[in-house]
Amino acid sequence: MSIETIFLLFSLFVWPGCNADKPILDNKVSEHVLGEAEGLPLYTGADQVDKYMPILKGARVGLLINQTSMVGDKSLVDVMVENGVRVQAIFAPEHGFRGEADAGAEIPDGKDKLTGIPIISIYGQKKAPDAGDLKDIDVVVFDVQDVGARFYTYLSTLKYLMEACARNNVSLLVLDRPNPNGHYVDGPILEPAFTSFVGVIPIPIVHGMTLGELAGMMNGEGMLAEGIKCRLKVVTCQNYNHHVPYKLPVKPSPNLPNQLSVLLYPSLCLFEGTNFSVGRGTDKQFQIYGSPEAGEGDFYFTPQPKPGAMKPFLEGKKCRGFDLSGMKEVEVMKEGRLNLSYILKAYASCKEKKTFFLKNNFIDKLAGTDKFRKQVVSGLSEDQIRESWQPGLSTFKELRKKYLLYPD
């Protein structure tokens, strides 16, 4: 298939406003997700094979996928191969194609053992495919499960991929997946000075959007480097809205082992900028928190090397803290906001407050601002901290409405 034919197919299937000529999306929701979604079967973008195979037929295809990229009980790459798609390369993000690598561990290049397709790392020396990787590719398919927090790095990977596709005249097809934390929006807006791999665009910690919706926002609002536009198509989920509870069928990363950890992650991840552990190196990752410096708590644990965390923070040190693993998932969902009480109480009871926040101020990158750290140190209440977020959240919520593909 010629590149001109690929472009034509994208012009037929792409959203209004998602191509390079029309940067602003319209505000319409796809007909198949209008109305009540409860009680109806939910289909991810990847599940709807008949919607994207016509686009890929005859094209040279790259896949940015991981262990969550499943169609039923089959990996997306296997479905592609079975349908005769010419898969040229698999791009492996953080944690690798199979989702087994430690957080932050460099991912090597290789080959898929089952298909022989080359695997190109985009988590190591580079964070996106380069011109050489894309020279024989017409379309890249992105299918990765997100968990709805700004610092969950697959959003960063998507942004860098969009920029690479735009620069190299390659189309991007996003197979959308539900956001398990899509039922609320909360937290401070990322300030430009604190941009990093755990925060690449000016959105709150919890954005309440799918990656497909965020892709549209990044294109439409000029959030890509130099304001470039990516030729983008999103296959939307069917029978989904932002308040449909979505239990992940596959754990999205090694240290999010179950649904409760996914729901607690946006609140507990702030501890990764402190001298407290969130359970990496245990069997209750992101369901517990504690530190040798904790001044209160009735739960004790000692992080040890485990798959996904071979060198866990506070390895071998006895930590005192709290076990949240007995919480009901519905309780966490009903809160509908970040729970700041965990980190505020931990700071208040910490034996040595000067070392509570790590010296590298990683907390500022996670929060997207240095104001949060300063507010905690100053002793501001949760209500006072939340009040400082409201102007930014109000502005973001209005912007967000333009790019929603599903009912709120």
pLDDT (tens digit per residue) in 363-382 = 999 999 999 999 999 999 99
Q: Are 248 and 28 in contact (CB under 8 A)?
A: no
H helix and E strand count, the chain: 12, 14
**What structural domains and CATH numbers belong to the chain?**
3-247 (3.40.50.12170), 259-369 (no CATH)
Structure tokens belonging to residue 75 = 């990996």
Q: In angstroms, rounded to a whole number, what is the distance separating the alpha carbons of residues 408 and 405?
A: 9
Q: How confident is the model at residue 109 (pLDDT cuts 50, 70, 90)?
A: confident
Structure tokens belonging to residue 4 = 């001109």
Q: How confident is the model at residue 323 (pLDDT cuts 50, 70, 90)?
A: very high
Residue 98's identity, in one-letter code, is R
Is the model's pLDDT at 139 over the cut of 70?
Answer: yes
The predicted structure's pLDDT at residue 110: 85
The predicted structure's pLDDT at residue 136: 96
Range of weakest confidence among 27-31, 198-202, 314-318, 346-350: 27-31
70-71 vs 74-75, strand pairing mode: antiparallel
Q: What percent of the chain has pLDDT over 90?
A: 83
The predicted structure's pLDDT at residue 111: 86
238-261 pLDDT, tens per residue?
999 999 999 999 999 999 999 999
The predicted structure's pLDDT at residue 10: 52
Q: What percent of the chain has pLDDT over 70?
A: 87
What's the average model confidence in pLDDT over 258-284?
A: 98
Q: In angstroms, rounded to a whole number, what is the distance separating the alpha carbons of residues 324 and 262?
A: 13
Tell me if residue 134 falls in helix, strand or coil.
helix
58-99 pLDDT, tens per residue?
999 999 999 999 999 999 999 999 999 999 999 998 766 664
The predicted structure's pLDDT at residue 115: 86
C-alpha angle 54-60-64 in degrees, rounded to nearest 5: 90
Is the model's pLDDT at 104 over the cut of 70?
Answer: no
The predicted structure's pLDDT at residue 322: 98
